């Protein structure tokens, strides 16, 4: 699945897309998935979550927003819109 297809499937709100684009994320591949750390905060260590990618699609995130809301969180969208990250996480 490519980034455009993943983004359409996630169907995020405009607000989530904008935040996924402009916030300063750091990505690290790990056995559990892709660790997404938001460096936009003064305490980024408290804003670090793991996004699971299955079949080329960000399926889940450990953040509270993804757990408590029906729509995709900004971390899943951030992975989906960055082609190299999505490709590496899918490999």
Whether the Cβ atoms of residue 74 and residue 65 lie closer than 8 Å to each other? yes
Number of domains in the chain: 1
Q: Using a cut of 0.75, tell me whether the model's pTM lies above it.
A: yes
Domain ranges, residue 19: 3-90
| pLDDT per residue as tens digits for the range 77-87 | 999 999 999 99
| pLDDT per residue as tens digits for the range 29-85 | 999 999 999 999 999 999 999 999 999 899 999 999 998 988 899 999 999 999 999
Whether the Cβ atoms of residue 26 and residue 39 lie closer than 8 Å to each other? yes
Question: Please, what's the b/e burial string for 26-61 (b: 16 or more CB within 10 A of its CB; e: otherwise)?
Answer: ebeeeeebbbbbbeeeeeeeebbbbbbbeebbbebb
Q: Identify the CA nearest to 62 among candidates 86, 42, 38, 84.
A: 38
């Amino acid at each position: 699945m490519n980034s455009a297809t993943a983004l359409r499937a996630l169907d995020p709100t405009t607000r989530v897309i904008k935040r996924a684009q402009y916030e300063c994320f750091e990505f690290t591949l790990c056995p559990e998935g892709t660790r997404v750390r938001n460096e936009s905060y003064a305490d980024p260590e408290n804003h670090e979550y793991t996004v699971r990618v299955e079949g080329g699609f960000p399926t889940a995130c450990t953040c509270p927003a993804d757990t408590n809301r029906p729509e995709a969180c900004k971390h899943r969208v951030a992975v989906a819109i960055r082609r190299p990250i999505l490709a590496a996480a899918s490999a």
